[in-house]
Structure 1
Amino acid sequence: MLFQVRMDVNIPLDMPVETATEIKAREKAYSQELQRQGKWRHIWRITGQYSNISIFDVESNEELHNILQGLPLYPYMNMEVMALNRHPSSVREDDS
């Protein structure tokens, strides 16, 4: 199942820099491992914002939910999740 997820990050301004740096390092490691596994297909920055658009390829809604809740920055994010389905007018045989 493919999902588009928009993630907007809002780290509190009063969070100590060392704490924010440590959380971001854990976030990077976690997301890169999911990318290597093929679960986190794509990630793009949104210009001028601390936000991204990502594409996930997971087995179920529950798997995506668990992945997103596992993000170290999850407590500081607003997310918008959209399920994706193949369009019948696509010229591609797959989702490449």
Structure 2
Amino acid sequence: MLFHVRMNVNLPHDLPAAETADILAREKAYSQELQKSGKWRHIWRIAGQYANYSVFDVPDNTQLHEILSGLPLFKFMDIEVTPLLRHPSAIREDDT
């Protein structure tokens, strides 16, 4: 099942630089592994914001919740999730 996810990151300004660097490094490694596995299919930066739009391909909302709550930046994020279904007028058969 596909999910459209908007993630807004709100890092505290007083977070120590070393802690910020560690969280960001872990976040990058975790997200890239999910991308390699095919679970995190797309990620786009939103211009001018510390935010992204992403598409996840997972069996259900339980697995999506597990993935999102495992993000090192999770406690600093506002997340909006929209489940996606194939549109009946879509012409690409390979993008379900």
TM-score bucket of the superposed structures, by smaller chain: over 0.9
5 Å matches for 1:13-92?
13-92=13-92
Deviation at 1:32, TM superposition (A): 0.2
Deviation at 1:95, TM superposition (A): 1.2
Q: CA RMSD in A?
A: 0.9
Aligned residues: 96
Superposition misfits of 4+ residues, deviation over 3 angstroms: none
TM-score, length-normalised on structure 1?
Answer: 0.98
Q: Show structure 2 runs of 5+ residues with no match.
A: none
Identity of aligned residues (%): 64
Q: Show structure 1 runs of 5+ residues with no match.
A: none
Deviation at 1:94, TM superposition (A): 2.5
CA offset digits 1:35-84 (Å, max 9, x no partner): 00000000000000000000000011100000000000000000000000
> What amino acid maps onto 2:66 in structure 1?
N
Mapped partners of 2:91, 2:19: distance in 1 = 47
State the SS of the aligned residue for 1:7.
strand
